[in-house]
Amino acid sequence: MLNFTLDKIDIDILMALQLDAGISNLELADKVSLSPSPCSRRVKLLEKAGFFRGKVTLLDPQAVGLPVNVFIQITLSRQEKTKLALFEKNISILPEVMECYLMTGDFDYLIRVAVPDLISYQIFLDKVTEMKGISLIKSSFSLKQVCYKTELPLKHLNIV
């Protein structure tokens, strides 16, 4: 990321784009009180500075037949750099894995998986159990999604 100082308009642009990446430049400019040309330039500068990882359309998991979320705690038998890297490479290629975090505490990795049903989860779990170096797998099934956000909180960036 380039050395970049954000101002209030930049923060407003970031907040607006987090809510709707498909917003037109005209609508965005109106939202942040700029004319379209300077707004477009600012978006390009923010992009060049590395503030955006990409643009996506968020699908409804129910609508695409993926209603089951499973959170999996995985403990490796040894926490060696090469073993961690191998596990991360292998788990990342599985399409069901939505998120994977290296953790501190009682287990090594926390993974969120999206699957259509329990049979699909069993098939996924069979793939994971074939991976070398895993000593413990604990699965927890989500009963209900209470809160889900994709927008990062930006209040700490506010310029007075």
Q: Is 83 exposed, middle or buried (0-12, 13-18, 19+ CB in 10 A)?
A: middle
Q: Which two tokens stand for residue 75?
A: 């403990």
Check if 8-56 and 68-141 are the same fold.
no
Instruction: Indicate left, alpha or beta for 115 from its phi (over 0: left) and psi (-120 to 50: alpha).
Output: beta
Distances in whole angstroms, Cα of residue 34 to Cα of each of 15, 40, 41, 80, 113: 15, 10, 11, 52, 41
- Which pLDDT band holds residue 1 (cuts at 50, 70, 90)? low
Please indicate, yes or no, whether the overall pTM of this predicted structure exceeds 0.75.
yes
The CATH T-level fold of domain 68-141 is Alpha-Beta Plaits (3.30.70)
DSSP per-residue letters across 81-123: HHHHHHHHHHHHT-TTEEEEEE-SSS-SEEEEEEESSHHHHHH
- Which string of b and e fits 1-27 if b means at least 16 CB within 10 Å? eeeeebeeebbbbbbbbeeeeeeeeee
- Which pLDDT band holds residue 31 (cuts at 50, 70, 90)? very high
Question: What residues are paired with 102 via a beta bridge?
Answer: 109
| pLDDT tens digits, one per residue of 69-120 | 999 999 999 999 999 999 999 999 999 999 999 999 999 999 999 999 999 9
Length of the chain: 160
DSSP conformational letter for 127:
H
d(CA 121, CA 115) in angstroms, rounded, equals 6
| pLDDT tens digits, one per residue of 134-145 | 999 999 999 999
Under CATH, which architecture does the 8-56 domain have?
Orthogonal Bundle (1.10)
Whether residue 2 is predicted with pLDDT greater than 70 in this model: the reply is no
Domain boundaries, the chain: 8-56, 68-141
